[in-house]
Amino acid sequence: MDNAAIADNFSLLSKLMDIHGENSFKTKTYSIAAYHIEQLPGQLKDTPRDKLFTIKGIGESIGKKVIEMLDTGQLSILNEYLEKTPAGVIELLNIKGIGPKKIHAIWKEMGIESPGELLYACNENRLTLYKGFGEKTQLNIQEAIEFFLSNQGSFLYAQIEALFPQIDGYLKKLFGTGKVRVTGAYRRQESIIDELEFIILADNNTIKPKFQTAQPPELLEETENSILYKLKNGVKLRFYTGVKNRAEQLFITTGNKAFVESFQKMYPGLKYNGDESEEDEIIFEKAKIKYIPPYLRESESIITKAKANKLPLVLQPSDIKSIIHNHSNWSDGTNTVEEMANECIKRGYEYFVISDHSKSAFYAKGLSEERIREQHKYIDELNKKLKPFKIFKSIECDILNDGSMDYTDDILATFDLVIASVHSNLKMTEEKAMARVLKAISNPYVTILGHMTGRLLLSRNGYPLDHKKVIDACIANNVVIELNAHPRRLDIDWKWIEYATENGGIISINPDAHFLEGFDDVKYGVLSAQKGGLTKEQNLSSYSLKQFEDFLAKRKKLKSLA
């Protein structure tokens, strides 16, 4: 059991004890332990047992429970609380805006034991009868539950990707490598996957007996040419069956509906005839147009580009030259700046941009003006040590409620570049959000607009924005638009990339990394950017060190002329 799993167990235990109304001192002990364990540089499983009790946040009681988890993979006290807590009450922890204290009141005082019951109570305006639940709180809870329930059974692309090799390998073992092909949303690199779809060259009567195991998946739906299963982990598998022409089926099930219908209208007499061994490249060959990769098959416009031989040479992971937007242990990151820089060097990147949180983010140890000066001195020393690799001084500066920045211009001027982001008071009208964001974009020291809408996929809708106006403002003010590559953000949405780049905008794929492994998220940013047709020339993090320095020098010159 690794540190993350141990910390998760203590964090969940703390929350469950709060839900049951236990002594707050005891519950806090477990949450503090979870926090300290998450920050540890080394794994507890590799730590000598007698040393465990000397680690900050781990006393005798916590230490014994850590040993129990390391030895058994279980935490008995957590299991006890899980057994005496209704599953629906535990599920309420997944609802944004409802903490353990409120769940205690919802369960013990209101007698509600599931998100569905709670939504019903909100619809009847019952929550306002209880202390601590005003009309605004009730509305927020109602919206959060509706969002939560609407996304049940959906998964992030990154979550499905982690499971895909095992599922794909199992199916190919059952039916043969040549008989199985992935299709649908996963093949198209969608950010959210509702069903993992496969074409299987076999009929239903051949397929179904293969899944009659000791723990069979749930059969949700069956037609003559498809089967839908639900696995124990909630993932839905759809099989297209009885297929005689694989190329045609791959083509039809891969593309977005609008893409497929547009293609069929443009080529009404095109015959897809082929044997079961052919891939869908043959369809584009017969249409005499360039092959359109699955991730671009979204709309009619891409077909027009293919016909005109104007498909973009899209960005590849190997085109990324730097890691921009990262947090070190100066704020809420895990690693030192030097450790992060060395990891970049190890991975072959040319430079690195550190952008810790600004002072308003007190919850994330945001940097005071004095700490900024200390960090800049530290970076200067590192740059001498690591040359020719270079670390650039940046900050993720909070956009305050009125759209102003978290520091004065004199402080902002000390950075090589500034990333401006909204982190607080996310519940805004479009009018408020637009005024706030547009004012920030107009600040001459803002270089990049961070995670444009503040969304968290499957967890939180972004605040409402007029995307075109925001993109236009970024272009007019020479502000780069971030594609935050964290798989829960992927913000800006790929659907707006084409508009931005065709009008002269620059995107920057940034991982928002808080630890070394976070650099891996660049991959998901690239996959999302590919759907928007982004090229390496249009992506800031693909600039070489020389190009990046020239870019910053040009912006600085433009600022001085403004």
CA angle 49, 52, 55 (to 5 degrees): 160
pLDDT attached to residue 376: 98
CA angle 204, 207, 209 (to 5 degrees): 110
- Phi first, then psi, for residue 137 (nearest 5°) are -60, -45
Bridge-based pairing state of the strands 351-357 and 322-323: parallel
Does this model's pTM top 0.75? My answer is: yes
pLDDT attached to residue 124: 67
Measured distance CA(229)–CA(171) in Å, rounded? 13
pLDDT attached to residue 274: 63
pLDDT attached to residue 57: 76
Give me the average pLDDT of each 10-residue run along the chain (562 residues): 90 94 89 89 87 83 91 93 92 88 90 83 76 86 82 87 95 93 97 96 93 86 95 92 87 95 91 74 93 96 95 96 95 93 98 96 88 98 97 98 96 97 91 98 97 88 95 97 95 97 98 93 98 98 98 87 66
Contacts 24+ apart (CB under 8 A), 424-432: 424/360, 424/398, 425/401, 426/454, 426/460, 426/463, 427/140, 427/463, 428/463, 428/464, 429/464, 430/463, 430/464, 430/465, 430/466
Hey, CA dihedral for 302, 304, 305, 309, is it positive or negative?
A: positive
Output the six-digit token pair for 141: 């809870």
Measured distance CA(377)–CA(406) in Å, rounded? 21
pLDDT attached to residue 521: 95
pLDDT attached to residue 134: 85
Distance in Å from the first CA to the final CA of the chain: 57
165 prior amide bond cis, ω within 30: no
pLDDT attached to residue 541: 98
Which DSSP helix (H) or strand (E) runs through 33?
helix 24-39
* CA 235 from centroid of its chain's CA atoms: 18
Kindly give, in sequence order, each residue whose CB lies less than 8 Å from that of residue 520, ignoring residues fewer than 6 positions away: 511
